A and B are shown apart, each in its own frame.
Chain A
């Protein structure tokens, strides 16, 4: 049973560019959340998708957008990259009807903006 998979594992971009990160949830899960983890910090919630809609959003600018597909996989898009966007981006999946279903995290995508 595959867990949460993210691609790519590492990415280097230049300021001003755009980037797309991808996530496949754990089998059976229907909700995907994205978190940003800056160096030396705890993860911060970006947004959550369920039924292909953004359901909750953290304190991130509109440059951060996402999408969820019918197969529950998800993409995170970041436009007009800034140096401060360099971080580990973590995808987490869960089952919304589980009530007390814990989040399962992928290994993340390390984004470096130069």
Chain B
């Protein structure tokens, strides 16, 4: 069974500080990995994705994440946080679909990011 753990429920950083959100996953094969962001009352916006290839992936809004197979991790980073980054962040894992199906995602419980001025 696939699962995702986001160890930090809530993180507070100062504007301009660096950020790292942790994500550990469990998946029996090569995973597809994603980070989504959700603002209050909104749907999910894709920040970045990993399917294969280079383990350091770049996303939108200056975010990046690194896939470390040996640690089953896919941590999200940003060198300098902006006040507009305050939101909830979800890590998700999926795998290649089969039999006429596409992949399904298993999400972590999310990390709420607060940015202090």
A interface list, Cβ under 8 A from B: 4, 31, 33, 35, 40-45, 48, 50-51, 53, 55-56, 58, 90, 92, 94, 96, 99-108, 110
Contact = CB atoms under 8 A, between A and B. Distances in A.
A108 to B, nearest CB: 5
A53 B16 CA distance: 48
B100 A51 contact: yes
Given A41-B109, A42-B110, A44-B107, A107 B42 contact: yes
A42 B102 contact: no
| Max count, chain B CB within 10 A of own CB: residue among A4, A31, A103 | A103
Contacts of B110: 41-42
B104 A56 contact: yes
Interface string B86-117: 00001010001101111011111110000000
A100 B51 contact: yes
B104 A33 contact: yes
A101 B94 CA distance: 12
Contact of A102 (B4, B49, B90): B49
Given A42-B108, A43-B90, A96-B97, A48 B46 contact: no
B106 A103 contact: no
Pick from A44, A102, A107, A108 the residue with the most CB of B within 10 Å: A102
A59 B92 CA distance: 17
Given A43-B107, A90-B44, A106-B43, A100 B102 contact: no
13 contacts: A43-B90, A48-B101, A48-B102, A51-B100, A53-B100, A55-B101, A56-B104, A90-B43, A99-B51, A104-B46, A105-B44, A105-B45, A107-B41
The 5 closest A-B pairs by CB, nearest first: A42-B107, A55-B101, A100-B51, A107-B43, A105-B44
Contacts of B90: 42-43
B63 interface: no
A44 B108 CA distance: 9
